[in-house]
């Protein structure tokens, strides 16, 4: 009896210890987040209601004119539209590119698997700016692609590839692809190969197995990877600036311009919050639509 009582008491005591220590472990990270993220955001949010004056820089006020200016100016609406479009296309394309590779990496039993993972992670070690510079060398008028096309006689004059939307798309997709691959890979690894075999055994060909079994089961990975990549794309800065040129404007470079070039902090702050809110709203809408689909299928199944 006595031993039973002590063994029963011990786990409870241990749990109590963990509980008392837990909150303290969160303190450093919480302080960091409050100091370097929450506080500046609050300040910035307040700025977005101030009034801009070229002479006095910023006048304390409480006005919505910065937001009103954004939504009445076709130029800025266009910048936001471009940003959303780039983010959506890049997310979709990287999903299509990443899935087969992620599947291969999740399923391979080759001893080269870790080499494959390193190859995918490696680009993350190269900064965006360095990478954009590399793309310049590839896509420029004197770059490798044009050189190749000229010498092969496919074109007679260099084709403009740099400072085009195409260059931005390529550049951003290359940046976000590893994130998508790694997210999908970990989710696909969690799906047993045996369920795919079961589907095949029951008569499902590879495409049907993908559509009916693999894709629905990997949807959480698609949602997670899509969210991560979409947010990264929405906030892309270096790639659109360096590969898109001055004509191609996305939100992050636009708001940076407001802060540095025109020193219009209130409008810049408003742009920042519009970017943040639209990213947030689109992400939430996207994930709910997808996960409701997942959920729907289950509900549909229930009455049968």
Partner 1 sequence: MSELILDRLRKEYGSFVAVDDVSLRVEEGELVALLGPSGCGKTTTLRMIAGFIEPTAGRITIGGRDVTWDPPYRRDTGMVFQSYALFPHMTVAQNVAFGLEMRKVPRAEAETRVRRALDLVRLGHLAARLPRQLSGGQQQRVALARALVVNPGVFLLDEPLSNLDAKLRLEVRVEIRELQKRLGLTTVFVTHDQEEALTLADRLVVMDHGVVQQVGTPEELYESPANLFVAGFIGRSNVLRGRLAERGRFISKGGLALAVPADGMAPGEAALALRPERIGVAPGASDGGVVGRVALVTYLGAATEYRVTLDGGETITASVPTPRPGDPLKLVSAGDAVTLTWPAESCRLLAPGPGATPDEGGL
* Binding site residues, partner 1, CB under 8 A: 192, 194-195, 197-205, 208, 212-213, 216-217, 294, 297-298, 301-304
| Distance, CA of 109 to chain centre | 29
Q: Which residue, 15 or 212, is less far from partner 1 as judged by CB?
A: 212
Shortest approach of partner 1 to residue 210 CB, angstroms?
A: 13
Helix H or strand E encompassing 114: helix 113-121
Q: Which residue, 202 or 289, is less far from partner 1 as judged by CB?
A: 202
Q: Which residue, 204 or 290, is less far from partner 1 as judged by CB?
A: 204
Shortest approach of partner 1 to residue 188 CB, angstroms?
A: 14
CA distance linking residue 251 with residue 132, whole number of Å? 18
Neighbours of 204 (CB within 10 A): 16
Q: Which residue, 22 or 303, is less far from partner 1 as judged by CB?
A: 303
Shortest approach of partner 1 to residue 209 CB, angstroms?
A: 8
Q: Which residue, 152 or 207, is less far from partner 1 as judged by CB?
A: 207
Nearest to 264 by CA among 66, 35, 3: 66
The percent helix, strand, coil of the chain (3-state, each to 5) is 80, 0, 20
CA distance linking residue 284 with residue 291, whole number of Å? 10
Shortest approach of partner 1 to residue 217 CB, angstroms?
A: 6
Whether the CB-CB separation of 98 and 181 falls below 8 Å is answered with yes
Shortest approach of partner 1 to residue 192 CB, angstroms?
A: 6
């Amino acid at each position: 009896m006595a031993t039973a009582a002590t063994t029963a008491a011990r786990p409870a005591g241990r749990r109590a210890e963990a509980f008392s220590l837990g909150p303290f472990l969160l303190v450093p990270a919480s302080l960091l987040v409050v100091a370097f993220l929450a506080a500046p955001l609050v300040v910035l949010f307040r700025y977005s209601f101030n009034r801009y004056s070229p002479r006095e820089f910023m006048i304390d006020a409480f006005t919505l004119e910065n937001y009103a200016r954004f939504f009445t100016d076709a130029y800025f609406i266009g910048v936001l539209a471009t940003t959303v479009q780039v983010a959506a296309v890049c997310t979709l394309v990287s999903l299509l590119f990443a899935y087969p590779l992620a599947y291969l990496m999740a399923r391979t039993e080759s001893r080269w698997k870790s080499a494959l993972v390193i190859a995918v992670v490696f680009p993350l070690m190269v900064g965006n700016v360095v990478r954009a510079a590399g793309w310049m060398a590839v896509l420029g008028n004197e770059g490798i692609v044009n050189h190749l096309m000229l010498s092969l006689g496919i074109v007679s004059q260099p084709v403009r590839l740099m400072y085009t939307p195409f260059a931005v798309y390529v550049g951003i997709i290359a940046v976000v692809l590893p994130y998508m691959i790694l997210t999908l890979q970990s989710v696909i690894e969690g799906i047993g190969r045996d369920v795919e075999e079961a589907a095949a055994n029951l008569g499902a060909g590879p495409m049907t197995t993908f559509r009916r079994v693999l894709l629905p089961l990997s949807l959480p990975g698609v949602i997670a990877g899509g969210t991560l990549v979409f947010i990264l794309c929405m906030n892309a800065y270096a790639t659109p600036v360096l590969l898109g040129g001055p004509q191609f404007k996305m939100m992050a470079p636009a708001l940076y311009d407001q802060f540095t070039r025109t020193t219009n902090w209130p409008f810049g702050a408003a742009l920042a919050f519009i970017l943040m809110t639209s990213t947030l709203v689109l992400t939430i809408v996207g994930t709910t639509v997808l996960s409701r689909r997942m959920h729907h299928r289950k509900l549909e199944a229930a009455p049968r």
